């Protein structure tokens, strides 16, 4: 890449460029032929709006992302709309030259939220996948994570009659609204186990708010699939230790990548803003 192109990418999306720099030494080992496991067709696609406060000290900066939940007869897959678009394009790239051309496209989708969550795959389990430069991590949890307390309170959410439920999870208190008229025991992120689709869920401080935007029943059912990468298979606790280590060492990583002191400090500031994860407790 030329210096002008590097400057262009930094201007367009600093963090994305930074993460790419950290993985540049592995470009020669990039694979574009990972096998893909087709799990089952999706019966419905649920789009949620996620509004979240990444920095607990900045109440005025709320980010937003569209999230997709693909629900089949036995399994589901949850990820951001941008990650879905990114993965779809990547699945059609066959060589390094095409990949580098894709990186230079100013209109490429940028997945700020980089995890994928599979429910009931394998059976009775929840599978969490996320890339931390320069490895892709995978861990499993039991699917039944939530001790829901049902309430008699009802409301109309996104045009659906919904009932209230609450639970404690990940160091936060959550309020969920589920609709029995949508007969899927599923919801955004890891949430599941209620007698109807979750149409809205938020923690009591409104740091994370998922709300249904619309439901699609596609004529041509997309396949819920899994790209079988060279995963680092780990535990939930070790995954978060690796993620914390990445951001805690971001200055030294930026320095090793040959970035200037100014860029190193900018990277550190961006990392410090990531202090309010959806799961505050990792056990």
Position 24 scores a pLDDT of: 46
Q: Domain spans of the chain?
A: 1-283
Average pLDDT score over residue span 75-101:
88
Give the lowest-confidence range in 6-15, 71-80, 96-105, 202-211.
6-15
pTM exceeding 0.75: yes
pLDDT tier at 5 (50, 70, 90 boundaries)? very low
Alpha-carbon distance of 79 to 69, in angstroms, equals 7
For the stretch 148-204, pLDDT in tens is 999 999 999 999 999 999 999 999 999 999 999 999 999 999 999 999 999 999 999
- CA 256 → CA 18, 142, 161, 262, 266, distances in Å? 12, 39, 55, 14, 15
Q: C-alpha angle 72/75/81, rounded to 5°?
A: 75
Alpha-carbon distance of 258 to 267, in angstroms, equals 13
The number of angstroms, rounded, from the C-alpha of 214 to the middle of its chain's C-alpha atoms is 19
Give Dmax (Cα) for the chain: 62
């Amino acid at each position: 890449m030329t210096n002008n192109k590097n400057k262009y990418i930094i201007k367009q999306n600093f963090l994305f460029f930074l993460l790419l720099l950290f993985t540049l030494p592995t470009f020669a080992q990039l694979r574009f032929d990972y096998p893909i496991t087709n799990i089952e067709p999706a019966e419905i696609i649920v789009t949620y709006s996620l509004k979240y406060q990444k920095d607990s000290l900045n109440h005025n900066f709320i980010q937003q992302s569209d999230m997709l939940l693909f629900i089949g007869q036995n399994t589901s897959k949850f990820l951001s709309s941008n990650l879905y678009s990114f993965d779809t394009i990547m699945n059609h790239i066959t060589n390094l030259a095409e990949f580098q051309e894709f990186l230079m496209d100013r209109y490429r989708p940028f997945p700020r939220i980089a995890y994928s969550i599979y429910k009931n795959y394998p059976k009775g389990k929840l599978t969490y996948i996320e890339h931390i430069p320069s490895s892709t991590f995978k861990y499993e949890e039991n699917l039944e994570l939530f001790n829901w307390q049902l309430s008699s309170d009802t409301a109309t959410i996104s045009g659906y009659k919904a009932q209230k439920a609450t639970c404690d999870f990940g160091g936060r208190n959550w309020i969920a609204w589920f609709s029995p008229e949508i007969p899927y025991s599923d919801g955004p992120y890891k949430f599941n186990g209620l007698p109807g689709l979750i149409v809205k869920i938020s923690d009591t401080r409104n740091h994370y708010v998922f709300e249904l935007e619309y439901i699609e029943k596609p004529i041509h059912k997309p396949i819920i699939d899994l790209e079988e990468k060279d995963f680092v298979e780990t535990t939930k606790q070790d995954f978060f230790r690796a993620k914390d280590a990445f951001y805690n060492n971001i200055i030294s990583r930026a320095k090793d990548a040959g970035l200037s002191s100014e860029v190193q400090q900018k990277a550190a500031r961006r990392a410090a803003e990531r202090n309010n994860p959806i799961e505050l407790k990792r056990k």
